[in-house]
Structure 1
């Protein structure tokens, strides 16, 4: 009850109901395609609350659902994925920690643009049938460069999915491995992001109850999305997800330009 009272001080009841709905939808989409929870949360939540509070809110649901995703085939498979992508992940985490410390010094409009532009570029290139191609194993330059970009975006916005998905797709990573590796990378990144934003002040006593409150609908949505993933052709749902991401990204750009 005390947590709910803290949440109602941060937003209106209607905004809170919308936040719960957005968390559920984000969970469903993540369960189906393995990514997009932070993007959907930051886009949907920032329509009714401040981008900083939206960022604080998405962190715990992201940590928990990625743990579920990473461990779906067991700890050993997750560990093997971690070792295989350790260079990319290590770079991402280091840059994420550094860039997270600047989140409160950057204007909200600029942060929305930083999030929105990569989302639109990623969705547009995928929908146009122009995926990147990188030789496997990747060069050290590609691994570090893409990891640094993903970490920079992730620290500022809590969103590092598009470059990671593009990277794994460019390597022709098999579907099952693709989903698990995303969970490992996003999960560890989300844990680091949590501690980084405790340091930045984004996650604090006033904002943490909101993040806790939207965990249950995110988990329920994730469970439902995984069921759909197991039974329905994923390619069609991925295309639908990309259309949703395109709309979300364009909305973020609109808000960043118009204020």
Structure 2
């Protein structure tokens, strides 16, 4: 089990280092093949937190982005507290199927992201809605992907601002997820902080390797392979 976790987080970290996102989605998708979504989400806490903070503070402008996206962040917090979806580990609802659907949608989004419209003029009222849905889905699946990532892509941000904005949203949602998991433990499923800390090491090594890979292959080609893989993995999880 330990070696499987190490392999998963090394792969997920490499993908995040190459294209800037994907660690929670890939980790949850693969881990839930052998453990429950609740257990998988607990392993994500430390690797996600550290890598997201690294991504957030890699450049300047953090305060400016907080001032711009505070409505999005409030939405994420509110959604994680009052989710309209059944949450991890506390329902007969199949959160694995929901996660699979999100991964498949994420893959489709990644393949067709260039065709998305510019929604920046609607930002003031869209941000809290997108944030709420993102927070609600985070505590339901353990992953903040839909609709936060594609929404930020529609705001016509510069590359560095987009990467930092994703880091800001990811960091906020990870903190909310950690608080949720701590306050809503599942019987016989304690939060394994030791294993989560162990998972951080391969995740960081994977991110470092991913940055090296980024300069050696076409990012566009890698993105296509990655997103096709997410569609396949998500479809498998839905069917299973």
Structure 2 matches for 1:99-138, cutoff 5 A? 99=83, 102-107=87-92, 110-128=94-112, 131-138=115-122
- Structure 1: give runs of 5+ residues left out of the alignment: 1-14
Establish whether residue 49 from structure 1 lines up as the match of residue 32 from structure 2. Answer: no
- Asked whether the equivalents of residues 42 and 191 of structure 2 are also in contact (C-alpha less than 8 Å), the reply is no
- Structure 2: give runs of 5+ residues left out of the alignment: none
Establish whether residue 66 from structure 1 lines up as the match of residue 52 from structure 2. Answer: yes
Q: Say which SS state the counterpart of residue 214 (structure 1) adopts.
A: helix
Counterpart of 1:186 (choices 159, 167, 170) is: 170
TM-score, with structure 1 as normaliser: 0.83
* Residue equivalent to 2:200: 215
Cα distance between partner residues in 2 of 1:240 and 1:31: 15
1:241 deviation in Å? 2.0
Counterpart of 2:8 (choices 10, 19, 22) is: 22
Cα distance between partner residues in 1 of 2:122 and 2:214: 29
Cα distance between partner residues in 2 of 1:235 and 1:177: 20
* Residue equivalent to 1:197: 181
Cα distance between partner residues in 1 of 2:113 and 2:135: 26
Equivalent pairs, count: 238
TM-score, with structure 2 as normaliser: 0.89
1:137 deviation in Å? 3.6
Cα distance between partner residues in 2 of 1:206 and 1:95: 22
1:128 deviation in Å? 4.3
- Asked whether the equivalents of residues 34 and 183 of structure 1 are also in contact (C-alpha less than 8 Å), the reply is no
1:98 deviation in Å? 3.0
- Asked whether the equivalents of residues 106 and 230 of structure 2 are also in contact (C-alpha less than 8 Å), the reply is no
Classify 1:85/1:234 alpha carbon distance in 2 versus 1 (closer, same or farther; 3 Å).
farther
* Residue equivalent to 2:133: 149
- Asked whether the equivalents of residues 31 and 40 of structure 2 are also in contact (C-alpha less than 8 Å), the reply is yes
* Residue equivalent to 2:238: 253
Q: CA RMSD in A?
A: 2.3
1:202 deviation in Å? 5.3
Cα distance between partner residues in 1 of 2:62 and 2:186: 29
Cα distance between partner residues in 1 of 2:112 and 2:168: 28
* Residue equivalent to 1:31: 17
Cα distance between partner residues in 2 of 1:55 and 1:126: 23
* Residue equivalent to 2:73: 89
Cα distance between partner residues in 1 of 2:82 and 2:46: 20
1:27 deviation in Å? 0.4
1:97 deviation in Å? 2.9
